[in-house]
Amino acid sequence: MIYDVIIIGAGVIGAMAARELSKYQLKVCLLEKENDVACGASKANSGIIHGGYDPEPGTLKAKMNTEGVALLYEAAKELHVPYKNNGSLVLAFSEKEDETVLELFERGKINGIAGLSVISGNQARAIEPNLSDKVTSALLIPNAGIICPYALTIAAVGNAMDNGVELKRNFAVAAMEKTAKGYIVSAKDGQSVTGRFVLNCAGGYSDKVAAMVGDNDYTIVPRAGEYLLLDKTEGSRVSHTIFQVPSEEGKGILVSPTADGNLLTGPTAAKVATPDSKEITPEGIEQVQRLAAKSVPSVNFRQVITSFTGVRSSGTTGDFIIEPSRKAPGVVHLVAIESPGLTCCVAIARYAVAQLEKAGLALEAKESWDGNREDTHAFRDMSDEEKDAFIQKNPDYGRIVCRCEQVSEGEIRAAIRRNPQAWDMDGVKRRTRSGMGRCQGGFCGPYVMRLLSEELGIPMEQVTKNGGESRMVTERIGE
């Protein structure tokens, strides 16, 4: 089998590229080194749809952001991924920062962002009563929004698979070799696939993948961001996404509702050794709490339900790099896709596909393509009467497994069956929210393990948290 296109990396960029390519009569293979999709930066970020005021005018970032917002809202609708156009505020706390707010406003106008306005501290507090008294002015960005980044990635991969894309998990690319038939992409464990074109969407490892075809001049500088996620009881502390004016460290600590109704605070920004870092540090926790309280003093950090770290795939130029390989024709690299990469994912995918076309890939539309994905949360959003009728036909939906998030057995079984299948505990969690509530899987964990074991036809001892050696139990007692 020779694929037309091999995509390396099933983060949100690879996922959207796969979905974009699934529109055409192409054989596409999506490779992922982890046990599931959305396991890198795409699972642990702010989940923000950025308005587009921030990127330097004239950069690829600015272009992608300006185009990307509307495209993302459209894709989220088609894929039934929960999102909210809640708007954002960038806060200033001093005269100097007031000037920065004005600069951002001007920059946003140049980038073509509609509806921006600069408001006073009092006006900001009028629309967000829990903001600090010390806020002096703010930039209001009405087109900004929030979206669940891993739900988006999972849905995009699922939709791509429904339209014929093949997903290979646990495929950690180790080498690429050009042959007459195309590129042989091989994994550490010896498996290999061959394809005529290659899209390098490897995120934190995109520099290493580029180097496999001789492009040695990219460098990823992984920067970790730590977050604290709070219970839904804190979810309405603010309705907008609250930023502080950017500093050299990043866009500052934000306070935001999430698309699922929790409150998110973070991220920090610290250089780390590897893109896989998952470390939570005491300094990080302290910094998030202190700076979040600067914007919204009343955030109740006793309601933290989990903390996590995501790693940005930052480059050295400050801009996205999406370009054909200089050494290997047919290979396109996507490097340094950091924030606002999530916002830009559809625009980036289209831009990358256009680069493939320029490199000689023929794009013939596929008539059967369907960009809509079934709503995996349809049941959750039904009225009691609709739920009752649905349960009559599907009794598994009447048995609640996760009490905190009220996820039923039916929803969990569906998540293990539907593209892309959940293969582990984290996969079920990210698809259904089971285990994401305040008890963090304390009650539903054993039940979900049993459902995974049943549906996948594997013994309990082989059920993992996230693949590999992450087994949940070690042995059957008495054997």
Partner 1 sequence: MKQHAIVIVGGGPAGMAAAVAAYDRGVTDVVILDREPRLGGILQQCIHNGFGLHKLGRELTGPEYAAVYAQQVAERNIPVYYETMVTSVSPDRVVTARNREGILKIRAQAVILAMGCRERSRGALNICGTRPAGIYSAGTAQKLINCDGYMVGKRVVILGSGDIGLIMARRMSLEGAKVEAVCELMSYSGGLTRNIVQCLEDFGIPLYLSTTVVQIHGDKRLEGVTVAQVDENRRPIESTRRYIPCDTLLLSVGLIPENELTQVCGIPMDPVTGGAMVDESCMTKVSGIFACGNVLHVHDLVDYVSDEAERAGKGAADFVKNGKNAECRYLPTKAGRGVRYVVPQQLRKDTGDVDLFLRVTQPFGKVKFTVTAGNKVLAVAKRLKAAPGEMERITLKQALLYDAEGTVTVELEEL
Stretch that binds partner 1, among 87-95, 122-130, 348-356, 471-479 (CB under 8 A): 471-479
Nearer to partner 1, 321 or 439 (CB): 439
Count, residues near partner 1 per rule CB under 8 A: 57
* Residue where the block lists tokens 């590129």: 183
Q: Does 356 bind partner 1 (CB under 8 A)?
A: no
When binding is defined by CB under 8 A, the residue of 127, 239, 443, 456 that contacts partner 1 is 443
Nearer to partner 1, 280 or 359 (CB): 280
Helices (H), 296-360: 341-358
Task: Looking at residues 240 to 279 of the shown chain, list those that interact with partner 1 (rule: CB under 8 A).
Answer: 276, 278-279
Nearer to partner 1, 304 or 322 (CB): 304
281 CB contacts (<8 Å, ≥6 apart)?
226, 270
Stretch that binds partner 1, among 45-53, 65-73, 98-106, 470-478 (CB under 8 A): 470-478
Nearer to partner 1, 145 or 225 (CB): 225
When binding is defined by CB under 8 A, the residue of 58, 129, 360, 395 that contacts partner 1 is 395
Q: Does 343 bind partner 1 (CB under 8 A)?
A: no
467, 475 in Cβ contact below 8 A? no
377 part of the active site: no
Task: Looking at residues 402 to 431 of the shown chain, list those that interact with partner 1 (rule: CB under 8 A).
Answer: 403-404, 406, 408, 425
Residues linked to residue 464 through DSSP beta bridges, in sequence order? 471
Stretch that binds partner 1, among 124-132, 144-152, 317-325, 385-393 (CB under 8 A): 385-393
| CA pseudo-torsion sign 227, 13, 69, 101 | positive
Q: How far is CA 124 from CA 90, 129, 139, 363, in A?
A: 10, 8, 9, 48
Assigned token pair, 69:
């917002």
**C-alpha to C-alpha distance for 421 and 427, rounded to whole angstroms:** 8
Phi-psi region of 115 (alpha: psi -120 to 50; beta: other; left: phi over 0): left
Residue type, 340: P
Residue 271: CB minimum distance to partner 1, A: 18
87, 49 in Cβ contact below 8 A? no
When binding is defined by CB under 8 A, the residue of 102, 396, 419, 456 that contacts partner 1 is 396
Q: Does 441 bind partner 1 (CB under 8 A)?
A: yes
Residue type, 182: G
Q: Does 439 bind partner 1 (CB under 8 A)?
A: yes
Q: Which residues are catalytic?
A: 50
